[in-house]
Structure 1
Amino acid sequence: MLVVSRFRVPEAEGPSFREGIAAAHAVLAERPGYVAGQVGRNLDDPELWVLTTRWEHVGAYRRALSSYEVKLHAVPLLSRALDEPSAYEVVEPGTVLNDHDARSVG
């Protein structure tokens, strides 16, 4: 699964945000199920930042977020993310995509 978290950060806060997002990414990268990730900044709008992470499955990501270390060192920064959906299933040839109806039942 892929997580895309975007952030709107005033340019004056850019240097400190860069340090904070790198630290948050490092803490996430230590968690079981983490596959890869990157921090980026938009070329056309330098106030727009992104953290993308890839996980073995949604359970690994959710467990990572509930860990003490992540709650302490990453969640405060992650809470600054834009309020938009951030979790995506990876679409690759031959994969079966989640069925929206099945998730909403119950």
Structure 2
Amino acid sequence: MPTNWAKAPDHHDPGAVAANTREFLESGLTTVRCRACLSEVRVRKASAAQTSVQWSSDPAATCPEFAARVAAGELGARIDTCPKLRASIEDAVADGRLAVPDA
């Protein structure tokens, strides 16, 4: 007999699992636009120190910093961030557009 957990989705229902996964991955995301190159990313702050960034496109195709570093031979997936994008995210936190849970 399967155990029902209050917080866990019904893993026998693929639709419920997909919906819960999508909600987990997308909840709390705020769109932030880089003020330098206008790339848009979705950002979630879990704390003052932790930032999650989701790109909707290849960063090297829209961000000059990523493009230059990839052209120089760096692997795009290993590039942490662009300093100008980081500054734009920090501005979004400072002006209240991006919430920080423990702030």
Tell me the TM-score normalised to structure 2 length. Answer: 0.29
**Bigger Rg, structure 1 or 2:** 2
Structure with bigger strand share is: 1
Higher relative contact order (CA 8 A, sep 6+): 1
> What's the TM-score once normalised by structure 1's chain length?
0.28
